[in-house]
Structure 1
């Protein structure tokens, strides 16, 4: 039998340079793609300016004390429709249990993980102390329901509750 001899090619500086450039090119390329996806899917921040939020904090505390002193009873009901929408109904009663009319309620479904999915709900008074509005298409899952009631241009009521929509 003839023996075939095999002599390997020498490992030159050009080969090493090519391998190093290819390796770091792949690493940098993957990092750039991951950065692009991270920036595109970044939901944002809870508040745009922490300084402004801290300045308004005392006002928020005073408004919460005022709201507690009023002892309003505000109940919200969310009904899912077969078309993927949700109807929000709010019943507002004063501290004596009488329905309150003439308030301007606003609702907002906020996604806890992504502010871009938030949906505002405009509520109209459909009866004495009953306010109703709808969100046309709202995905199933966990949402924060934020209710705000205004009277005479001043916020009188604010609540934030976690709801699960199926």
Structure 2
């Protein structure tokens, strides 16, 4: 009969120390990773001062209602490396514009925001151009597009929409 019995491995204090140190190393590592990701990603800031924004809400709502009463519709085109914008009145007639500024705002990362100033086509005089354009290809993805079109009103015509860009074209 074989008397060589293997001694059972016992769980010692050193083993417990390794388990505890390993557990806390994982917890601290995950916390540092999450803190780094939170610090380098979107801030979550929508407005600088919520009190001021709340005080301006009624005035902005009034401007929005007045603009909606005009019955104007904005036409945004993104294709072939070009961004175009024009305004159409309630009767389907294209309105003359004096200038157009567009902000492509990424919903999650401010670092990718881009502001474009569109120009009138060659040969058009200031104030009578119906469509403004600029050479630009936005990155593929979801964008919030904020358009300010100067149509000769007291304040610019404001058009805000959420769009999807795929293969450099508006979907």
1:89–1:11 CA distance, 2 compared to 1 (3 A): closer
Q: Counterpart of 1:99?
A: 95
Contact 1:149 1:155 in 2 (8 A): no
- Between Structure 1 and Structure 2, how many residues are aligned? 159
User: What runs of 5+ residues in structure 2 fail to find an aligned partner?
Assistant: 167-171
Structure 1 distance, partners of 2:59, 2:114, is 26
Q: Counterpart of 1:125 in 2: which secondary structure?
A: coil
Q: Counterpart of 2:169?
A: none
User: What runs of 5+ residues in structure 1 fail to find an aligned partner?
Assistant: none
1:53–1:153 CA distance, 2 compared to 1 (3 A): same
Q: Counterpart of 1:131?
A: 132
Structure 1 distance, partners of 2:89, 2:117, is 22
Q: Counterpart of 1:57?
A: 57
Contact 1:144 1:162 in 2 (8 A): yes
Cα deviation per residue 1:88-117 (whole Å; 9 max; x = unaligned)?
21223556636324x221012222333322
Contact 1:109 1:145 in 2 (8 A): yes
Cα deviation per residue 1:101-137 (whole Å; 9 max; x = unaligned)?
4x221012222333322221111122322211233x4
1:138–1:75 CA distance, 2 compared to 1 (3 A): closer
Q: Counterpart of 1:155?
A: 155
The offset of 1:10, in angstroms, is 5.0
Q: TM-score, normalised by structure 2?
A: 0.75
**RMSD between aligned residues:** 2.7
1:22–1:164 CA distance, 2 compared to 1 (3 A): closer
Contact 1:67 1:156 in 2 (8 A): no
User: Which of 114, 119, 137 is matched with 1:119 structurally?
Assistant: 114
Q: Which deviates more, 57-66 or 142-151?
A: 142-151
Contact 1:122 1:134 in 2 (8 A): no
Structure 2 distance, partners of 1:3, 1:95, is 101
